[in-house]
Structure 1
Amino acid sequence: MTSLLSIRDLTIDFRTDRQSFRALDGLSLDVAPGRTLALVGESGSGKSVTAQAILRILPRSAAITAGRILFTEPGGSGAPTDITALPADGPGMRALRGGRIAMIFQEPMTCLSPLHTIGDQVGEALRVHTGASRAEADAQTRDALERVGFPDPQRALHTYPFELSGGLRQRAMIAMALIMRPALLVADEPTTALDVTTQAQILALLGRLQAETGMSILLITHDLGVVANMAHDVAVLYRGRLVEAGTREDVLRRPGHPYLRALIKAVPRFDMAPGERLTPITPARVTIPPRAPPTPRAGPILSVEGVSKVFALRSSRAAGQAGLIRAVSDVSLAVEAGRTLGLVGESGSGKTTLSKIVMRAIAPSAGRVMFDAGTGPRDVQALAGADLFAYRRAVQFVFQDPYSSLDPRMTVGEIVAEPMKIHGVPKRERQQRARDLMAMVGLEAGGLSRYPHAFSGGQRQRIGIARALALEPRMLLLDEPVSALDVSVQAQILNLLKDLQAALGLTYLIVSHNLAVIDYMADTISVMCRGRIVEAAPKATLFRNPAHPYTRALLAAVPDPSLDHPLDFAAVSGEHSDPAAWPQPFRLAAAEAGAMREIEAGHQVRMGEAEALRAA
């Protein structure tokens, strides 16, 4: 069979004023018609550079120094086109780019123009390539949006990207890429920024569209679970070189290269033995000084009691109307000292809002947060002056995005020392403490004089953890701390957090949409949906006997790297988060809150009020 895309001996170098760097070194691979090739590897392996070379959108500092990229029209009898021989801005390349070869980028919010409607952006390729009129483009754009699952395609024509969820933005990107019915779709980490259920829906959509159109897909990812559920063929990159390639069955069932075997061991799995640790490819060397164990206490260190948060819609305020969004509804939970509570749910379920309430970054509309610093529980919202200052020191936050959470104008030393400076720690003590913190998170003290841009994503997250530990807190709030990281770097960070907790007696509240990560980290788990806790239990109990249909859908949506546990795409069709669609006894009417009921020791689940009364 003739390959749709054939890359032969491709070499790409990046040049700077001081040195050159080889990003791809003699890469050869083939994408067959109608099949999906997964290009796998960590950040820096050359995956995205390969995609940019195919579309000829490499940065100015990069150059193709050897090799060819041959594109053959499906069913065509002519000679293949050598993409490397075409001028990047010439008519031949423009005809291919967006027409016969299309691309989906990793982060839809930064790739969609905030100034143009979805209709304008999706229809632009059609108007550029075919000269279609505005009416013709709108009609075909509406059809494309309907094909990718927009609930109201007509309305979406006039919608701006900021008005859409992450999943709908990614669907808009897919519609934009496919409106010209390309022969090849290059998908660069198309689901990394999405929660697991939305990711499953997008993967199912890509599979359906491929079956309908016969297009080929070059799927770039570091997630072996996605590979196991989407790919026909697999190619593994390591530092710009191809180290393993073959069919999905051959590569995943019989991995030959040590790098691929190491990647598989770095992925959190539900079947891990008690006490088993993830195995990162490059273990980090950390130095954690011993600390006296915390004084045993009775009762939880943190209690959230009936907390709700209501936001007024901006347009409703302007119009004098009472438009309200209930982000958190009557949430109660407790975290024991030295333990980890995992808070799980999809994007928009209220997890981050609740963590901000705990941090006192926003005030609750109702309920209270109680924190026990060792002298008895106190209402966090009532703290002021020195008491509030002490609370800020005792509870610290680790943010989701290691790139935007560090000030690019400050050195790492200034970033790590800033909390200590605010809290009056003497300068000499700050400097020594900063060096100790760098060793504690596995970084060299020499990095204190460098700026964040000089570090990788995983290293930046370590800097964020060091900053959070600067004031010797009792508790860390971890908001999706590894969702933006490669699987091996993710394993390093998760192991680091476990080691820090064991050595320093820390308490964690970890927010995530990935139940496999929560399974590895947490002692107890609370599951949130539409602002409410729908299930809460010890980890072993929840995974042994998930009762709520929403919890089961989240579990079903986690892609497993094993070919023996394929994703059940039907389980995450979209109704899993609709309380009115849940089966009895869990179904909730429009204004019904339901009630939590214990179904076994320590295991609570939300039921409809009438069903809960009968269960009681």
Structure 2
Amino acid sequence: MSETPLFSIRDLAVNFTGAGVVTQALRGVSFDIPRGRTVALVGESGSGKSVTAQAMMGILPKAATVTAGSILFNDPGRPDAPLDLARLDPSGKQMRALRGDRMTMIFQEPMSSLSPLHTVGDQVTEAYMLHNRVPPHVARDVAEAVFERVGLPDPARIFNTYPFELSGGMRQRAMIAMALICRPALLIADEPTTALDVTTQAQILELISDLQAETGMSVLLITHDLGVVANVADDVVVMYRGRIVESGDRETIFRNPQHPYLRALMNAAPHFDMKPGERLTPLREVADARLLAAQARPATKRPAGPVLEARDISKTFTLRSGWFSGQTRQVRAVSNVSLTLMPGKTLGLVGESGCGKTTVSRMIMRAITPDSGAIRYDDGDGLRDISTLKGKDLMRYRRAVQFIFQDPYGSLNPRMTVYQLLTEPMRIHNVGTEQEQFERASMLLAMVGLDRHALRRYPHSFSGGQRQRLGIARALALSPQVLLCDEPVSALDVSVQAQVLNLLKDLQQALDLSYIFVSHNLAVVDYMADDIAVMCRGHIVEQAPREVLFNAPLHPYTQALLAAVPAPDLDHPLDFAKLRSGRFSEPTQWPEPYRLACGEAGAMREVAPQHYVRLGEAGRAAA
């Protein structure tokens, strides 16, 4: 006889009611979470994954109601088990005793989930003190022990820090510590690694697996990344429009997927073995942007050489060491970076969070000024240093170089309609009459696969993928030559990601655009880029054409980034032991000839045609 599962969800139905309209979010959802195993809940945004978790935790929004079904919790430590959580009052004593103690949740965005007004230690110990009735000094000792277990350096210092003082990976570890301090029976992880770079993501996934093995807890992993599922899940549940369309153990799901939706999800994800010219297959195609964009191709001069180049640009920031101490310290964000962007091509810029990618983009946009070096742009009349541009010349440059932001939620003004968002750049630059602006806004929407009726709507009424397409449409409003794409698909599920990536490639072909594509997802960069530059600690450590870099990476940091990408392939699992063994982002730990002494910059050396690698002093001397 099989062991009783920790959770048994049967025929669960949840409805949302708003403005007199009832929407079925969950329709007869049934699955089990066995003890000590990881169940992955997979599907697109809006498929019902998070609603399922919210129903289990009793934190559904006020507009939602559980209309049918049961959520049976077979807690081995409770005499009243099994307990139907669907019948409990979400604000009642029984549910509050379970939530945060026997069942906990890691939310998708740690910065918005942690209070900016309280220290990390206060937030982590709150639940422990509430459920265990212990004094603060005991809770602090327990919290510091958990901090150490989740890999946070200097637990005593971390206890007194605020969330904004920590990196994204450290904030996520703090969230895990908060979830685990009471040693729960179930950990719900809602997209715990979506916005993290690949090396930090691998560390977090290994941490959750290790803690699960140590404590025996069950894990419900909510994700749209099939690579993550292939590496950590035991069982897989696939959701589509509030229903479960396929479920089974990991081996069966990946080796023999049956449902067309699951197969479509697998085809929509970029992977390293794609053939030249092969396109991603999104679940739903948008309008053919190539045909629409060709009608709007602006008459511009094509530069004979690079459209944009940076030469030895550097940037140092001055940070305060304390609020009232008056002490400061220098942080070198970018060191002697050189990049070249050719017309109609895509330059990929990859690296971990904090390596300097966004700082380089902001210097190109002239949002910040480099301390040294030069950035030059060619509008067809020859390269000019952008630091010398003033007046009309500067306005022309700002029209020609546009930015697609990472966060489609924060980059669109919620008080402006789509029409206002798309025509604002035209009004600022005095482009066209009001009627011409309206017609161009309608064409821009068609170009990104949205209906012109969307012009009257506000950003909140669109999905994440639709908002990202609005951001692309706004960036194209002034017919730019260069687009800086800063993590434009990092927060999107694979099906919408495929739409956006195909759209960007189609627009590039139709409008002869040049892209600088900033990302930590190397599979995405492999699909988009012609040339790739790898950044670490403010330096370019390797640069080469896409096919050369991915087939023959030389620098140990590049090799580590590639090894940390979770592939949706059971035959190529992540090597957690290898990722754990080396300090790949520490230049003093790199092997020869790449090792850099403390404070040493090294220099780029061409090791093959168009293939450049940064070598240390000893390596250059040996060469």
User: For this structure pair, what is the TM-score category when the shorter chain's length is used for normalisation?
Assistant: over 0.9
CA contact (8 A) 1:103 1:177 kept: yes
Q: Find the residue that maps to 2:245 and give its secondary structure.
A: strand
Q: Find the residue that maps to 2:584 and give its secondary structure.
A: helix
Correspondence 1:370 to 2:401: no
Which residue is 2:254 aligned to?
252
Which residue is 2:551 aligned to?
544
Q: Distance in 1 between matches of 2:23 and 2:552?
A: 52
CA contact (8 A) 2:303 2:378 kept: no
Q: Find the residue that maps to 2:211 and give its secondary structure.
A: helix
Q: Distance in 2 between matches of 1:316 and 1:68?
A: 52
Per-residue Cα deviation, 1:187-214 (whole angstroms, up to 9, x for no partner): 1111112111111100000000011011
Cα deviation for residue 118 of structure 1 reads 1.0
Q: Distance in 1 between matches of 2:81 and 2:196?
A: 40
Which residue is 1:595 aligned to?
603
Gaps of 5+ in 1: none
Correspondence 1:331 to 2:337: yes
Correspondence 1:424 to 2:430: yes
Q: Distance in 1 between matches of 2:563 and 2:375?
A: 33
Q: Distance in 2 between matches of 1:67 and 1:297?
A: 64
Cα deviation for residue 84 of structure 1 reads 1.1
Q: Distance in 2 between matches of 1:547 and 1:289?
A: 39
Q: Find the residue that maps to 1:43 and give its secondary structure.
A: coil
CA contact (8 A) 1:596 1:612 kept: no
Structure 1 residues 228-237 or 149-158, which shifts more?
Answer: 149-158
Which residue is 2:589 aligned to?
581
**498, 512, 527: which is aligned to 1:491?**
498
Cα deviation for residue 592 of structure 1 reads 0.4
Cα deviation for residue 570 of structure 1 reads 2.9
Q: Distance in 1 between matches of 2:273 and 2:361?
A: 29
Please give the TM-score of this superposition, normalised by the length of structure 1. 0.98
Q: Find the residue that maps to 2:214 and give its secondary structure.
A: helix
**87, 100, 105: which is aligned to 1:98?**
100
Correspondence 1:307 to 2:313: yes
Cα deviation for residue 614 of structure 1 reads 2.4
Specify whether residues 147 and 318 from structure 1 end up closer, same or farther in structure 2 by C-alpha distance, changes over 3 A only. closer
Q: Distance in 1 between matches of 2:549 and 2:244?
A: 41
Correspondence 1:475 to 2:468: no
Cα deviation for residue 567 of structure 1 reads 0.9
Specify whether residues 503 and 98 from structure 1 end up closer, same or farther in structure 2 by C-alpha distance, changes over 3 A only. same
Per-residue Cα deviation, 1:412-453 (whole angstroms, up to 9, x for no partner): 001001111111122121111111111111110110111111
Q: Distance in 2 between matches of 1:571 and 1:598?
A: 28
Query: What letter corresponds to residue 401 of structure 2 in structure 1?
Result: V
Q: Size of the alignment, in residue pairs?
A: 615
Per-residue Cα deviation, 1:358-390 (whole angstroms, up to 9, x for no partner): 000000011110000000000011100010000
Gaps of 5+ in 2: none
Which residue is 1:395 aligned to?
401
Per-residue Cα deviation, 1:101-143 (whole angstroms, up to 9, x for no partner): 1111100000111111111111111100010101100000011
Specify whether residues 158 and 377 from structure 1 end up closer, same or farther in structure 2 by C-alpha distance, changes over 3 A only. same
Correspondence 1:563 to 2:570: yes
Which residue is 2:365 aligned to?
359
CA contact (8 A) 1:458 1:490 kept: yes
CA contact (8 A) 1:293 1:504 kept: no
Q: Find the residue that maps to 2:173 and give its secondary structure.
A: helix
Q: Distance in 1 between matches of 2:114 and 2:28?
A: 33
Which residue is 1:504 aligned to?
511
Q: Find the residue that maps to 2:175 and give its secondary structure.
A: helix
Q: Distance in 2 between matches of 1:192 and 1:337?
A: 32
Which residue is 1:614 aligned to?
622
Q: Find the residue that maps to 1:576 and give its secondary structure.
A: coil
Which residue is 2:271 aligned to?
269
Quote the RMSD (CA, aligned, Å): 1.3
Per-residue Cα deviation, 1:441-484 (whole angstroms, up to 9, x for no partner): 11101101111111111111111111111111111000000001
Q: Find the residue that maps to 1:84 and give its secondary structure.
A: helix
Cα deviation for residue 285 of structure 1 reads 1.5
CA contact (8 A) 2:357 2:535 kept: yes
Specify whether residues 455 and 125 from structure 1 end up closer, same or farther in structure 2 by C-alpha distance, changes over 3 A only. same
Which residue is 1:443 aligned to?
450
**121, 131, 134: which is aligned to 1:132?**
134
Structure 1 residues 77-86 or 528-537, which shifts more?
Answer: 77-86
**516, 523, 532: which is aligned to 2:530?**
523
Specify whether residues 78 and 321 from structure 1 end up closer, same or farther in structure 2 by C-alpha distance, changes over 3 A only. closer
Q: Find the residue that maps to 2:622 and give its secondary structure.
A: helix
Q: Distance in 2 between matches of 1:18 and 1:79?
A: 38
Specify whether residues 78 and 318 from structure 1 end up closer, same or farther in structure 2 by C-alpha distance, changes over 3 A only. closer
Q: Find the residue that maps to 2:143 and give its secondary structure.
A: helix
Which residue is 1:40 aligned to?
42
Q: Find the residue that maps to 1:495 and give its secondary structure.
A: helix
Q: Distance in 2 between matches of 1:359 and 1:454?
A: 30
CA contact (8 A) 2:302 2:380 kept: no
Query: What letter corresponds to residue 144 of structure 1 in structure 2?
Result: V
Cα deviation for residue 611 of structure 1 reads 1.1
CA contact (8 A) 2:106 2:175 kept: yes
Query: What letter corresponds to residue 377 of structure 1 in structure 2?
Result: L
Q: Find the residue that maps to 1:575 and give its secondary structure.
A: coil
Which residue is 1:186 aligned to?
188
Per-residue Cα deviation, 1:294-330 (whole angstroms, up to 9, x for no partner): 6553321111000000111134797555511110000
Which residue is 1:202 aligned to?
204
Query: What letter corresponds to residue 586 of structure 2 in structure 1?
Result: D
Q: Find the residue that maps to 1:138 and give its secondary structure.
A: helix
CA contact (8 A) 1:316 1:323 kept: no
Correspondence 1:605 to 2:613: yes
Correspondence 1:174 to 2:176: yes
Q: Distance in 1 between matches of 2:416 and 2:288?
A: 24
CA contact (8 A) 2:73 2:81 kept: no
Structure 1 residues 435-444 or 295-304, which shifts more?
Answer: 295-304
Structure 1 residues 403-412 or 74-83, which shifts more?
Answer: 74-83
**535, 541, 546: which is aligned to 1:534?**
541
Q: Find the residue that maps to 1:525 and give its secondary structure.
A: strand
CA contact (8 A) 1:317 1:323 kept: no
Correspondence 1:385 to 2:387: no
Cα deviation for residue 568 of structure 1 reads 1.6
Please give the TM-score of this superposition, normalised by the length of structure 2. 0.97
Specify whether residues 592 and 180 from structure 1 end up closer, same or farther in structure 2 by C-alpha distance, changes over 3 A only. same
Specify whether residues 431 and 296 from structure 1 end up closer, same or farther in structure 2 by C-alpha distance, changes over 3 A only. closer
Query: What letter corresponds to residue 572 of structure 1 in structure 2?
Result: L
CA contact (8 A) 2:320 2:327 kept: no
Q: Find the residue that maps to 2:20 and give its secondary structure.
A: coil
**13, 30, 33: which is aligned to 1:31?**
33
Structure 1 residues 335-344 or 292-301, which shifts more?
Answer: 292-301
Q: Find the residue that maps to 2:287 and give its secondary structure.
A: coil
CA contact (8 A) 2:321 2:328 kept: no
Query: What letter corresponds to residue 482 of structure 1 in structure 2?
Result: V
Structure 1 residues 516-525 or 419-428, which shifts more?
Answer: 419-428
Query: What letter corresponds to residue 206 of structure 2 in structure 1?
Result: A
Q: Distance in 2 between matches of 1:289 and 1:59?
A: 41
Q: Distance in 2 between matches of 1:399 and 1:125?
A: 36
Q: Distance in 1 between matches of 2:528 and 2:293?
A: 22
Cα deviation for residue 491 of structure 1 reads 0.3
Q: Percent identity?
A: 63
